[in-house]
A = this chain, B = another copy of it.
Amino acid sequence: MIKVTVFYPNTEGKKFDMEYYCNKHIPMIQGKMGEALKDVAVEEGLGGAEPGSLATYRAMGHLYFESVEAFQTAFTPQAEEIMGDIPNYTDIQPLIQISEVKI
Considering the complex of A and B, which 6 residue pairs feature the smallest CB-CB distances, nearest first?
A: A43-B99, A49-B96, A42-B103, A42-B102, A46-B98, A44-B100
**Other 4 A-B pairs with CB < 8 A, given A2-B46, A42-B102, A47-B97:** A41-B103, A42-B103, A46-B98, A46-B99
Q: Is A87 an interface residue (CB 8 A)?
A: no
B40 near A103 (CB under 8 angstroms)? yes
Question: Chain B residues near A41 (CB, 8 Å)?
Answer: 101, 103
Interface SS, A side: strand
A: interface residue count bin: 20 to 34
Of B22, B43, B102, the residue contacting A18 (CB under 8 A) is B102
Question: For residue A96, which residue of chain B has the nearest CB?
Answer: B49
Q: Is A45 an interface residue (CB 8 A)?
A: yes
**A65-99 to B contact mask, C-beta < 8 Å, 1/0:** 00010000000000000000000000000011111
> Max chain B CB contacts within 10 Å: which of A43, A55, A101?
A43
